[in-house]
Structure 1
Amino acid sequence: MSAFVVVVARGVPDASSPLLGRFEFDQALALQQAGCHVVVAVLDCRSPRRRRAGLLTPWRVRHSTFEGLPVARIDIGLGSLPVRAFVPLLGRAWRRLYEAVVEHHGRPDVVHAHFTRWAAGVVPTTLRLRDGADQPLVVVTEHSSRLRRGSVTSEDRALARHAYRADRVLAVSSALAEVLAAEFGVTATVVPDLVDVDAFQPHPAHPTHPAQPAAPTRLLSVGNLIPRKGMDRLLRAFAAAFATSDAELVIVGQGPERGHLEELVTSSGVGDRVRLTGGLGRAELAAEFAAADGFVLFSEWETFGVVYVEAMAAGLPVLATHCGGPEDFVTDDVGMFTGTTPEDDVAALKTFVSQLDTFDPAVIAALARVRYAPGAVAARLLEIYRG
């Protein structure tokens, strides 16, 4: 008999918030494809100021489907309440939602929550409600990029005291598991984020293919335009490394740093070879991957780094910083790392571009699929659920 898994999500993706709950729904779809009965339970805590369907009847459980998955949803509009108020209110909302799920679908074998802030209400409430020591199993996956050694806040610790009481605590990278151990004394199992590898496949007419005419080397970077992603660092290194070259750089993303980056492009004299696209949909992003020769992202900290693996799925070599997540998957077959100084970045970019044709796109793509395809991650989760 297949396992019945309730995946707890922060929200339902829509046109205005395409990434809201995306990790959770992708996991739920993968588990469904692996043969599980899956229900997504949505605890939408966004502020009431953000008008959306359901807030006219807050705290009411609504049932629907999304992407072929049954969804039970409650909108509670807690916003950024302090932990001492947020956690008990979230726990009350989760109890109502959980009982509605049980009434409509039966008692689950597994409740799988994501992110400490949501898990802090889900975990203790579920442990109190279960009618036996092993039903349901309570699992938490931690993704949050806020959690770094030496920068954990008192609020993080307060949430962790509730969330990490789960039967299983998972972290999306070895680096994040080390943070949980060092800061909270929690032993976490590493289960990476899954990646829709089929959306980013090696292109048969990739510019580096021997049959293609010579063209300028094109590097691609993708990420929110925020300081942590290091786009200004990349731009400075690119301008210094390729001042007399025809190499091109495409930056995909949107965010508050865009104006600063546009100024930097102009002042660095590379305006004719650098393009900032803004945010792109998945199909448009796949086209940019297909047109690139290599992927570069100089992040300060990544708990995983989905976009690196998307680039790998597209067969692109990767140049990364030692920032946490990439250490789990950037090997000599996949790409390389830069150092810590501006001089390191310039040298690494030059070396990376000079060695692009030594990487095999098919090998890179295969490595991404073996570990991060939905089926691979779902199989690992099922092993953990079964103990």
Structure 2
Amino acid sequence: MSKDYILEVSWGCPSEKWPTNGLFQFDQAKALKEIGENVVFLALDVRSIKKWRKWGLNTFEKNGIPVYEFNFPYGPLSPKYKFIIQDYCFNRAISAIEKKHGKPQCIHVHTCQQALAVSEYCRLNKIPYYITEHVWPIDMGAYVNERMKTTYKAATKVIAVSNALSQVLKDYCGIDCAVVHNIVDLNSFEYAPSNKRDDGVYRFVSAAQVEYRKGMDILVKGFSEFLKSGVKSYLTIMGDGSQLENVKKLAIELGIQDYITYTGKYERKQFAEELHRSDCFVLVSRDETFGIVYVEAMACGIPAIASMCGGPSDIIDDSNGLLVPMEDPHALAEAMKKIVNIEYDSEKIARDCRQRYNSQKIAKEIKAVLYDQGNDFGE
């Protein structure tokens, strides 16, 4: 049996078919393992039945970490029933985990939505649980909302991934959070200045799921206004989503379709390669609790433009990019004009990024939260 292990609980585990599902959470599990923690990873995957995968409990090892994945694809159910299903999945999975590894010394769960399933188990077994929150609280109806507030308050500690999210959680249910930024796996993102092309063209790149909240429509409108300044420039939009066709239509309506390239779905390696060909990363989301892609860009020495939508305000300052108001294409166009003429120290951007967001540093900060509660994990 495993001794004194941390059970990491997520909404998914990355796979070949779903490479971004639970990616950041599994990165954190890897980082904790790398600093000497004993970790078991549990994915409670209750995504829509449209994202088909095998039902039930699946066990395997990934990067030396035991993984338990309980899949329960479901249909159009209310949040209340979704969490009943999630409770069932957790109870089935924890039984299998205990048989192999014994009871965990603590549970570190990602988002309160997943923590709903572990809180009663932890209360009955006197096991501390910690929540790292990645998403804004949303209205899921009175029953779920009250259960979430109770789950937050019963946690040994709640960690928010940005100062903006920490403040929202304090306003939402009166809890004081620790702030620890997301772990970012920077292995694919290296500073490579020699890859830049000296052809007088300024290249912007954006990468995200092309959904309303990511503000790709704002980006296209702002880029259209920026092009009127006469700067020779191109924009690459990486990602797929429900709004991609609408974004393409908007570019055609604005007459700038020849200045934008769309890559569709991408992986980290492809994103890194595109960053090495680009001069600036830009993503003007309508909300972000953190913003992994900004960090990945900066690890390559690329400055960034972001909207003041929450998380990016922790990441971007005058040394590495520009912040603009939300929902403001004109402000974005002005920032694009400005950033073209700023000579950033790309090597310093990359170096500072690695100092702030390397996995070992963030893992130690997470571990420090556990130590602060009087526990002795890893000793």
Gaps spanning 5+ residues in structure 2: where?
373-379
Residue equivalent to 1:63: 59
Distance 1:110 1:250 in 2: 44
How much does 1:81 deviate? Answer: 4.0
Quick one: which of 184, 199, 203 aligns to 2:173? 184
Q: List 4+ stretches of structure 1 deviating above 6 A.
A: none
How much does 1:302 deviate? Answer: 0.3
1:230 aligned onto 2:221: no
Q: Amino acid of the residue matched to residue 366 of structure 2?
A: L
Residue equivalent to 2:377: none
Q: Amino acid of the residue matched to residue 158 of structure 2?
A: V
Residue equivalent to 2:273: 287
How much does 1:333 deviate? Answer: 0.8
Normalised to the residue count of structure 1, the TM-score between the two structures is: 0.88
How much does 1:82 deviate? Answer: 3.5
CA contact (8 A) 2:24 2:184 kept: no
Residue equivalent to 1:133: none
CA contact (8 A) 1:289 1:311 kept: yes
Task: Using the TM superposition, name which of 268-277 and 315-324 deviates more.
Answer: 268-277
Distance 1:49 1:233 in 2: 29
How much does 1:242 deviate? Answer: 1.6
CA RMSD of aligned residues (A): 2.3
Distance 1:270 1:261 in 2: 11
Residue equivalent to 1:138: 129
How much does 1:238 deviate? Answer: 1.1
Equivalences for 1:65-84 in 2 at 5 Å?
Answer: 65-77=61-73, 81-84=77-80
Quick one: which of 253, 257, 278 aligns to 2:243? 257
How much does 1:62 deviate? Answer: 4.3
Normalised to the residue count of structure 2, the TM-score between the two structures is: 0.90
Which string of whole-angstrom CA distances, capped at 9 and with x for unpartnered residues, describes residues 275-334 of structure 1? 111111221111101000011111111010111111111110111111100111111111
Task: Using the TM superposition, name which of 70-79 and 327-336 deviates more.
Answer: 70-79
Residue equivalent to 1:112: 108
1:127 aligned onto 2:143: no
**Percentage identity across aligned positions?**
30
Distance 2:190 2:254 in 1: 33
CA contact (8 A) 2:132 2:160 kept: yes
How much does 1:73 deviate? Answer: 3.0
**How many residues are treated as equivalent by the alignment?**
368
Distance 2:128 2:260 in 1: 50
Q: Amino acid of the residue matched to residue 233 of structure 1?
A: I
Question: CA 1:96–1:311 in structure 2 vs 1: closer, same or farther (change >3 Å)?
Answer: same
Task: Using the TM superposition, name which of 19-28 and 309-318 deviates more.
Answer: 19-28
Task: Using the TM superposition, name which of 282-291 and 41-50 deviates more.
Answer: 41-50
Residue equivalent to 2:206: 221
Distance 1:91 1:360 in 2: 50
Quick one: which of 143, 146, 149 aligns to 1:161? 149
Equivalences for 1:1-387 in 2 at 5 Å?
Answer: 4-47=5-48, 50-53=51-54, 55=55, 58=56, 61-77=57-73, 81-130=77-126, 136-145=127-136, 147=137, 154=142, 157-164=145-152, 165-207=154-196, 213-243=198-228, 244-340=230-326, 341-355=328-342, 358-387=343-372
Distance 1:78 1:166 in 2: 28
Question: CA 1:88–1:162 in structure 2 vs 1: closer, same or farther (change >3 Å)?
Answer: farther
Task: Using the TM superposition, name which of 372-381 and 83-92 deviates more.
Answer: 83-92
